[in-house]
Every structure is written in structure tokens, then in C-alpha cells.
Amino acid sequence: MDQITWQHFEQTDIRVGTIIAADAFPEARRPAYKLQVDLGPLGVRKTSAQITKHYTPEELVGRQVLCVTNLGKKQIGNFMSEILVTGFADENGDIILAQPAGKVPNGSKLI
């Protein structure tokens, strides 16, 4: 495994946010949802997430997730993703969201 410096790690801005909207994304090449995430003082940001195997849009709303906020925007089909919602692949390669163990204020930084 390649090592990074502490300084490089500190440059990664990982924040908690609450999903406030989750919609189907039929234009995506792989099954995905369009999410809107409330990041508190950073505002509401949009992203696309390939998390359709373990979650429905209805159960995503209100869920807190960990997001990388400083990767820059990425065009995904006709949609502009502004953040990266993080997760872990299960034994089948399907994503399980990374979440805080308890409720924390939106926009809180991972330290």
C-alpha cells in the first residue's frame, strides 16, 4: 500500500451531510440515484451514487452520510456531481454507505 503524508490526508475534506432528496437516475450507464445532500454551512450539494442494490430512494432521505467535498465537479451523463458519497463494497461489489455511528451536525468534518 502506498503511503501518503499527514499533510495530504488533511487536504481531503470529508464531511457529514443528510440526504434530503433521492431520485432515480435512468440516464446513468449503471443503476444509480441522484442525491441532494445537506452539508450544513456548505449548503446543499448534488451527487450521483451507485447504491441501488441496498437502498431505495425513500429509505435514503434523512440518512446521514460521509462525503468528500473537495474533489471538484464531475459530469455524469447529463448530471453534474459536486461531491462524492463514500461507502464500502460488500462481497458482491455493491456499495454500503459510510455513515456516522450517531447523529452529528451537518457539515461536521471528519478528524
* Extents of the domains making up the chain: 7-97
pLDDT in the model for residue 52: 96
pLDDT in the model for residue 76: 87
Match domain 7-97 to its CATH number in 1.10.260.40, 2.40.50.140, 2.60.40.10, 2.160.10.10: 2.40.50.140
Going from the first residue of the chain to its last (111 residues), give the mean pLDDT of each consecutive group of 10, the final group possibly shorter: 90 96 92 97 97 97 98 90 97 97 97 88
pLDDT in the model for residue 97: 98
For residues 75-84, one letter each, b for 16 or more C-beta atoms within 10 angstroms of the residue's C-beta and e for the rest, the string is ebeeeebbbb
pLDDT in the model for residue 93: 96
For residues 49-66, one letter each, b for 16 or more C-beta atoms within 10 angstroms of the residue's C-beta and e for the rest, the string is bbbbeebeeeebeeebbb
pLDDT in the model for residue 19: 98
